[in-house]
Amino acid sequence: MAADDFSYHRNGRMPGMKLLRTIGLAAAAAVLLAAPALAQESKNIPPEAAELLKPLPISPKGQVVPGYPDGAPASTPDVLKLTDQDIADLKAKNFTAGIVMHTMDAGWPMLQVAGIKTTLAKYGIKVVAVTDAKFEPGTQISDLEQMIARKPDVIFSIPIDPQSEATAYKKAAAAGIKLVFMDNVPVGMAPGKDYLTVVASDNEKNAYYAAQELVKGIGGKGEVGIITLVYDYYYSVAARKVGAEKAFKEHPDIKLVDVGTFTTPEKAYGVATAMLTAHPDLKGIFVAWDTPAQQVVAAAKTLGRKIIVTTNDLAQDSALNVARGDFLAVGAQRPYDQGVTEAKAAAVGLLGKPVPPYIEVPTLRVKKLDLLSALELVTKEPAPKSVVQLCNGECY
């Protein structure tokens, strides 16, 4: 589960929905292709903002899976190649696909599915169904079993509980269905044997970037904290904690005094209140993703504490926090881009060609300076007026 997936479900946040309703999936693809030009050319952004929009080098390894005890080696999306003949072959074979989601009540999964469906359509691969488990592992297992019965050639999915759902996913693999995972791999499943690949954002680098900006924001010395999800088996969240800790350890004058955990995003308020009360000299907190980070900001304001907050993930509501200065920096995901990559990986695998075990989408660095461009790259629609107005001419 991606961290923002959890928060989206809790808050009903729908970035990108207006786009998908009004222009459709095919047009969304066109927006994707045009986005860099919109963000970097027509707006004539300053060099500092343009530099932030450049992707960082990816982290070298991903989740530990069978065969890769130190983590599967990371590849970038551009390793996936399809020739015109490959595409013709795909169209001739009439492949089908199923998409088994944790929830569809959010922008992150909507953009993921949009990227998948638009790209599969180019290859003549028909999507037979998209399921919504409404964040219930039992429902997702049932959805998966029903999808297996439809016998698609490939299933795309993000497991809600990588532990309890592993057996169900292994049944899909045993039925000869190829699997492409988003962000997390079920426990005990091996790449190349049980599934084709997993595609994820560079969660560790996202957090590393945000934590480094926190260090800069407090002048390179002082006490800091981390607030994250309690469930360590959600790999995409656990990787963020690793990235933040790595950044803090690089600075001898930075002292990580507390790591707080929550079960649901709204409970981050109480965690932050306790942390700030216990540590009166605390200068900054890295929070695993944007929704709990909003709770941390609220807690600090209630206590009258001025601290630096950085986090991961960006949507239209959390962009307001960046514009206001509540969040100094954000390491953001690119869900539509991940969907495109997942679909292309499936196509390569369906042709019997090798697919890397782990494909990583680079970090998008976000500060107030490049906020409008970054938000457009993530949501595939222009920033809303509320964000533009808060920027007061300081964002590009």
pLDDT by 10s per residue, the chain, length 396 = 444 333 333 333 333 333 333 333 333 333 333 334 344 444 589 999 999 999 888 889 999 999 999 999 999 999 999 999 999 999 999 999 999 998 887 667 888 999 999 999 999 999 999 999 987 889 999 999 999 999 999 999 999 888 899 999 999 999 999 999 999 999 999 999 999 999 999 999 999 999 999 999 999 999 999 999 887 777 888 999 999 999 999 999 999 999 999 988 889 999 999 999 999 999 999 999 888 999 999 999 999 999 999 999 898 889 999 999 999 999 999 988 999 999 999 999 999 999 999 999 998 999 999 999 999 999 888 999 999 999 999 999
Distance CA 1, CA 15 (A): 18
CATH entry 3.40.50.2300 includes domain 3-46+67-201+336-362: yes
Architecture (CATH level 2) of domain 203-333+367-391:
3-Layer(aba) Sandwich (3.40)
Query: Same CATH fold, 203-333+367-391 and 3-46+67-201+336-362?
Result: yes
Distance CA 5, CA 178 (A): 24
What residues does each domain of the chain span?
A: 3-46+67-201+336-362, 203-333+367-391
Do residues 236 and 203 touch, judged by C-beta distance below 8 A?
yes
Do residues 89 and 316 touch, judged by C-beta distance below 8 A?
no
